[in-house]
A = this chain, B = another copy of it.
Amino acid sequence: MVKLEEFVIHTTKYNDFINITGEVEKCVAKSGIKSGMVFVVTMHTTTAITTNEALECLQSDMMNLMWKLVDEDGNYSHARMLHSYGTTAGNPTGHLRSMLTGSHVIFPVADGKVLRGSAQEIFFCEYDGAQSRKICVEVMGE
């Protein structure tokens, strides 16, 4: 069985980590699949999906790391007039933070539930908000 769900998040900040574990678990419950896998993937190139513990102090450390590794004031090529856009590209850092973080996570589904560690929450990472963002949750199994 294959069950695909999409949902939209309206982010409110330029850069933000948003806990979407509850949404993912709803998709798994709705799928009716008892045994298999679930993967969660963003449909955008200036966002990411990751797993980590949900603690305000930790999410701020994660953000500081992304800003340290991908300097907001660095010199980027993707920050110039793009004819295909008809405007100036202004989000090189979002694309690069996305590259470092990754586009998806995957977990087993067992007994109809996402099998994750007790501290593992699933985060949507907004690196060029505020925007409306689409996330796909696919459940496969029996």
- Which A positions have Cβ atoms within 8 angstroms of B? 2, 4, 35-37, 39, 41-45, 50-53, 55-58, 60-62, 64-65, 69-70, 76-78, 80, 82, 84, 89, 92, 95-96, 98-108, 110, 115-117, 119-120, 134, 136, 138, 140-142
Interface of A is mostly: mixed
Number of copies of this kind of chain in the complex: 3
| Chain B contacts for A35, CB-based, 8 A | 2, 4
Q: Give the chain B neighbours of A120 by CB distance below 8 A.
A: 43-45, 103
Closest to A4 in B: B108
Of all chain B residues, which has the CB nearest A1? B142
Decide yes or no: A78 and B106 within 8 Å by CB, A99-B101, A117-B44 being known contacts: no
Which residues in B have their C-beta under 8 angstroms from that of A105?
Answer: 103-104
